[in-house]
Amino acid sequence: MTNSNSTSEDFPPKHIICVGAVVTKGDQVLLVRQALGHTLEGQWSIPWGFVDKNEFPDAAACRETLEESNIEAQIIGLLGIQELHNQGWIAVVFLCSYTKGSPLADGGVETDRARFFTLDEITHFKEPIEPWCEWIVRKVLEGNIIVIPLEPENPYAPLKSYL
């Protein structure tokens, strides 16, 4: 099924896969502020980035989280997929749980701040939060989500399947 607002000319010949991680720690969620020079400069967002060659999306989500925030996280399951930029970018977003580390930005390479927020803090926060990231973290903190768990008993195991 295609979007009635787009044509095949709107997309590059191949899709670019991005990943995002919604990392929870109790009743808090991790956000990072995008550094100077970044396309989302000055906005808070979930940790996200591109999937590297020979990397699986869930591993990329954990790697990006560690790189951008100094937080180690474990995948709980798949939250969903989001089309981005109408340029063929696809975001695969995972729900993760905090395992260890203290929030610390990557020194301005991609992020300049990192911290955990409660829903109340997000509601009263005065700095800009990227709209899609705010929407998804609110859904997670409000418990208004369905998580697709890892299915280790799939026919292609040990390759991962979320079902």
Q: What does the pLDDT read at residue 39?
A: 87
**Does 150 fall in a domain?**
no
**Does 44 fall in a domain?**
yes
**Does 153 fall in a domain?**
no
**Does 114 fall in a domain?**
yes
Q: Give the Cα separation of 79 and 140 in Å (integer).
A: 9
Q: Give the Cα separation of 47 and 62 in Å (integer).
A: 9
Q: What does the pLDDT read at residue 135?
A: 97
Pick from 65, 63, 62, 25: nearest CA to 45: 65
pLDDT tens track for 26-59: 999 999 999 999 889 999 999 999 999 999 999 9
**Does 46 fall in a domain?**
yes
Q: What does the pLDDT read at residue 84?
A: 83
Q: Which domain holds residue 97?
A: 14-144
What predicted TM-score, i.e. pTM, was given to this entire model?
0.90
**Does 149 fall in a domain?**
no
Q: Amino acid identity, residue 67? A: E
* Residue 2 pLDDT > 50: no
**Does 58 fall in a domain?**
yes
pLDDT tens track for 54-92: 999 999 999 999 999 999 999 999 999 998 876 788 999
Count up the domains in the chain and report the number.
Answer: 1
* Residue 17 pLDDT > 80: yes
* Residue 150 pLDDT > 70: yes
Using left for φ > 0, alpha for ψ between -120 and 50, and beta otherwise, residue 88 falls in left
Q: What does the pLDDT read at residue 11?
A: 58
State the CATH number of the domain containing residue 26: 3.90.79.10
Rg (CA), the chain: 16
Average pLDDT over residues 11-30: 90
Cross-strand partners of 116:
30
pLDDT tens track for 99-144: 999 999 999 999 999 999 999 999 999 999 999 999 999 999 999 9
Using left for φ > 0, alpha for ψ between -120 and 50, and beta otherwise, residue 23 falls in beta
**Does 37 fall in a domain?**
yes
